[in-house]
Amino acid sequence: MGKTISCSDAGKDCDWSASAASEEELMSLVTEHVLSEHKEIELNSESISHIKSLIKEK
């Protein structure tokens, strides 16, 4: 059991996706990706809770 997320689910024209064992681990991968590839996205409590709503179980 793990967590997965993909940028296309967030409506981004981006084929990046990631999976990890825990939400914390996945969010650190997401943060790294957003900071390097989606500089237009401001990471704040609102965007982070939106990102978390896109996380799926796999």
List the alpha helices (DSSP H) in the chain. Answer: 23-37, 45-53
The residue to which tokens 């704040």 are assigned? 44
The residue to which tokens 């990706």 are assigned? 33
Q: How far is the CB of 30 from Zn ion (least distance, A)?
A: 9
Contact positions vs Zn ion (CB under 5 A): 7, 14, 16, 37
Q: Nearer to Zn ion by C-beta: 25 or 33? A: 33
Q: Nearer to Zn ion by C-beta: 7 or 51? A: 7
Give the separation between CA 53 and CA 1, rounded to whole angstroms: 17
Q: Nearer to Zn ion by C-beta: 1 or 39? A: 39
